[in-house]
Structure 1
Amino acid sequence: MQTKAYIWVLFAAMLWGTTGTAQTFLVGDAHPLTIGAVRLAIGGFGLLLFVWLSGALRGARIPWLWVALSAMCMALFQPFFFSAVQLTGVAIGTVVAIGSAPAFSGVLEALIVKRRPERVWVLSTLLAITGCILLFANRDNYIVDPIGVLLALLAGLSFAGYAMCSKNVLGVMDVVPAVAIIFSLSGVGLMPFLLFLDTGYLAEPRNLLIVAYLGLAATSLAYLLFSSGLKTIPSSSAVTLSLAEPLTASILGVAVVGETLSGQSWTGVALLLGGIALLAFRKENGKA
């Protein structure tokens, strides 16, 4: 039943939304790119060890082209997104990157698999993107850096590309070995960042536990759930539902970190919830 697939994707996005709150508990200075590299390495290599010991890779048919493209998209997302945030601020960088991903996903589906966007998907996506914009409005000073905006758009395209490419992988492979191989390759691609950036914070035991959570729960488990849902629903719908990530992050920011949201931001929360619920409700009742 497709309802479960949408729930898996929502749970995945909620786990992604915990990463910002988890990182606030890190001791010392930790560069976001090193966190991204380490979490991908832990998540990918941990799963790879599991599937290798379990024998799940024996005789597996691996579509290496789609695997490589998926890994490349996921690896590229990290530097694109974090560089965009650094250049143009958290608000603009996040809205452009996360908000553009559903649009890119719809375009990729139309061009590659010749699937025309449904009106319900268009409406729910517009609601969710508008909510995302309102949610992040006035979060910090706006710095509309053209290069930063371009990098944010590339981050959105990278995530949409990952969803599209990995769906082709999942058409051939089981979820666990597929995610294990893709994220192991992504982790390898980001290893050079660990050579040039400071990783001294990893010597702190508390930081190791937090990074382990980010790798095993917010990466391995989250992308297993996302991929499980992606097997049976369109990639454009999965990417739209992933907008639950900033929603979760904002709610945790209020409940755990002690942040405050303006009335405008709470309106954004309501629109995000409405867009996500509209998409899930439409599918649940089989009207698509």
Structure 2
Amino acid sequence: MEKAVNTSDVVKGVLAIVIASFLWGTTGTAAQFAPEISPLAIGAFAMGIGGVLLCVSARKSLVKDAPILFSTPLTFLFGSACVAIYPLAFYSSMRLSGVAIGTVVSIASAPLFAALLEYFLSKKPVSLKWFISFVFGAFGIGMLSMGKAHDAMALSASKDDQVFGVLLGLIAGLTYAGYSWSAKQHIDAGANSKSAMAGLFGCAAVALLPSLWFTGQNLFANTTHISVSLYMAVVPMFLGYLLFGYGLRTTEASKATLITLIEPLVATLFAIFLIGEVFKPLGWGGMTLVCLCLLIQSIRLPFAVKRYGKKATA
């Protein structure tokens, strides 16, 4: 039985996910200021330290909710493994295929994977509202990708790197959807949103942080590297996932990952205004469609549309 939530809480949840997506959209641009840092190191440090900070901030509720988290150990371990794999795949994808393509593939594939997980594991049907939003978002992301295709290809060392980067992006999308789904299961079971995110990220940090012994030699090589590393860990990871966990209290994982399609949009805008990348009209059209996708998820549709999707979670 689903919990009843009021409209105000739903709006706050959506807004929290939008803000989190905005913060995540800054990661690609931030990473460009420290290209000497291994993508494995930046991913492990950002997610690992972010996980530690989440555990510290949620220590009281984490102890209280530990029985809930461990009552479904397979779900907990699955989510934690997804958290550990995601940053390694995501940042490696951006390094191999370019920031634009890596971000687009990783984030754009997540809503589809999330919907499949909810359908097959949680037995939740896909709503018409979600499907309409996904169509707009998918076309928008595709146009956004083509709008930056030439710049991204220039960043790619070879065609093989491009293909491997896309495959890693798909893995990132799957694991992103995986830990979002897992966190949502724990929240629905009664765990505090901070506890759910902190538990998964804290467990993943146990695996991620030791890997820095082999990959993290350049993390603190100079002031720029230190600033980038700390920013990635504290702002997009710690604050971003606090907001994302809050949003998951009233938002299904499939809808939440769909809303985060704003991330590549933000990443693109930062690349244009801060890095100076030039955009084709097709890309601007893609941005418009992504905004439309977000708008559809943020407002109530007319009665006719709601009627078709009322048995599903919008």
Q: TM-score, normalised by structure 1?
A: 0.89
Aligned runs of 1:1-288 on 2, under 5 Å?
1=8, 2-26=10-34, 29-52=36-59, 55-60=60-65, 61-64=67-70, 65=73, 66-137=75-146, 138=149, 139-141=151-153, 143=159, 147-171=164-188, 172-282=190-300, 287=306
Judged with a 3 Å threshold, the aligned counterparts in structure 2 of structure 1 residues 275 and 164 are, in CA distance, closer, same or farther, namely same
Unaligned runs of 5+ in 2: 1-7, 307-313
Cα offsets for 1:5-24 (capped at 9, x unmatched): 11111111111001122223
Q: How far does residue 57 in structure 1 lie from its aligned partner after superposition?
A: 3.5
What is the aligned-residue identity percentage? 32
Larger displacement relative to structure 2 (16-25 or 157-166): 16-25
Judged with a 3 Å threshold, the aligned counterparts in structure 2 of structure 1 residues 284 and 177 are, in CA distance, closer, same or farther, namely farther
Judged with a 3 Å threshold, the aligned counterparts in structure 2 of structure 1 residues 156 and 50 are, in CA distance, closer, same or farther, namely closer
Cα offsets for 1:18-52 (capped at 9, x unmatched): 112222333x6111211111111221112222333
Unaligned runs of 5+ in 1: none
> Does the residue aligned with 2:299 lie in a helix, a strand or coil?
helix
Do the aligned residues in 1 keep the contact of 2:47 with 2:87 (CA within 8 Å)?
no
Letter in structure 2 aligned against 1:63: L
Q: TM-score, normalised by structure 2?
A: 0.82
Letter in structure 2 aligned against 1:163: S
Letter in structure 1 aligned against 2:56: L
> Does the residue aligned with 1:140 lie in a helix, a strand or coil?
helix
Cα offsets for 1:165-210 (capped at 9, x unmatched): 1101222321223222221222222234312224234142343233
CA distance in 1, matches of 2:165, 2:224: 33
Q: How far does residue 278 in structure 1 lie from its aligned partner after superposition?
A: 1.3
Judged with a 3 Å threshold, the aligned counterparts in structure 2 of structure 1 residues 63 and 35 are, in CA distance, closer, same or farther, namely same
Do the aligned residues in 2 keep the contact of 1:3 with 1:283 (CA within 8 Å)?
no
Letter in structure 2 aligned against 1:45: V
Do the aligned residues in 2 keep the contact of 1:247 with 1:269 (CA within 8 Å)?
yes
Larger displacement relative to structure 2 (178-187 or 98-107): 178-187
Cα offsets for 1:94-152 (capped at 9, x unmatched): 43322221111111111122111111211111111211111121233283765544433
Judged with a 3 Å threshold, the aligned counterparts in structure 2 of structure 1 residues 284 and 113 are, in CA distance, closer, same or farther, namely farther
Q: Number of matched residues? A: 285
Judged with a 3 Å threshold, the aligned counterparts in structure 2 of structure 1 residues 164 and 58 are, in CA distance, closer, same or farther, namely closer
